[in-house]
Structure 1
């Protein structure tokens, strides 16, 4: 437990963190990797280069300061981040290292304003927050390794099949190299794929949604090829250009909180754009098998027909259902966008709505849904990109 004095000190630093947070986390990552380059095997290099991870961490530290009186308020974020950490292979011994360099970065950026009293309060607060993460993640690791066919960290899988789903998306069907089964997972979850790319000093990890309903012996991921000049595209380009059937990939167990509640039978709508379709198609397939009488709407946006993945799958799954509606929109065509009129026509706001896709698309759809009266409690969404981490 933190003393009230410590909480008051930490809370008083919130305005400073709002102003200097990204500067602090930029220094933090720079110093951390200078001293511990081995951690570059875990962190996404592209997110570092773009500054996205620095911003995410700054937001997390600020949230911790604001909610220091009631840390239970950030437990949902701790759980979401914990899934990311477990998928990446973050271990308890990493937390003291992070804490050391975070405090050093605060001192370096704030200078004399970072008094011993402030640093001491933050050291104490960080210890409590780190313990919360370690405890949550320990439970996740335990659950992962104790479930049938489960494991921790990374396991070798063979690419049993690759399928071109659209002009820029390829599906990889993955089977355990030991020829065993795979653990069941919740539709919408993701796995991490770790690769060692020739010419790259450090291994790279990327997270990909599982793009089919659970199967007993395989996973499927569907990877969009990013632009050649996009730093975040290094792994996707490698997978598209170099990974063939029979090749080996290292894979982590399923994780993630953006999942379909298979216990519900009320109306549900899936709204996606681009590669955001990948978790949705697995949810859609699951409903077609488990609850085919459930009222379902499936809306997807792509730039054009050549980039519209899973069209045949959508038709097949919808055909198994007694009460489904679906439509694919192409933005290069007239009336090819999912707007308020489309949402009011198709989506049943008395049910649940799942949204996934590029940030601008999601912000627009979520805003329109709320204007139409969609309550937050039935609105589910996941942004691609780095989770906020401490």
Structure 2
């Protein structure tokens, strides 16, 4: 860590080769939040919510970006950097990127007290498998711009986190050495991957019909050898800003299937995620924000008595059908304390519904009921 910091500082101070450098960052502090969830004791929280630190290096038509994951698991190999990309702009409307980064698919606007569902922003917990598409080994080609009225992003990618192979009855390392079939797959972050084992493609098209108006449609497909089936998803999103108003929306439909020994194993899962948000500039320093989201998930678990190829006899795979629906609404006010600092207060309410049909009981319907949770809190956001 010290060597990396020294190298970055040296690069920032060295400009003999006309190397333009820039540092950007974001810190979100939870100053005080009161949280109450059904069947749990009420809590009072404060601390650091998010830390982002990005370094940009530009030289002629080439550039590089490094984003550090300071609030992640730094003890894991190759996990210090969340992004490490090299870009090339040979012409005005063309851009090529390669390295480790985030593919263009989601829009995912940040909420008030919690982040987007796709980034884990839930106090009750969601069960969807399609998350933020970051930490990918990727190659991206982008064409277009605002003057052309559109921009298209095409990516070939694979996940940097890969399961460790071994010679046991599962074929991969699990966290249960005495009986690998009943353990969870062990993953590690890699600098390079074998695309014969894991590969995907993604495309996002953004259309700009008028100033302040963006409409996007995205799709992705992923094929991983150890999974039961291929994964795919579609995304529809948009933003519109006019005067003091800004409206943001997004809808995602995804099909997810993974390995019987994954931590959250599903034979197949149909997922729908949606978001609607609007902001209103009340005064020069005061902004009102409203955010609402949903995550609707239909799951078919693996049946441990009838697993593909007989591999992965893991005890939690009961063959149940489960429907889990999450709904969330937030409202809050943001005050601009300085050019790059704002203070926010808000209220969040979330409801979760679960229904289960148990294979072990001849598919007798099991109603798990509703669970409610809410929080009221405040925070400070600082950009630099």
The TM tier, using the shorter chain, reads under 0.3
Task: Give the structure with the higher percent helix.
Answer: 1
With normalisation by structure 1, the TM-score equals 0.27
With normalisation by structure 2, the TM-score equals 0.27
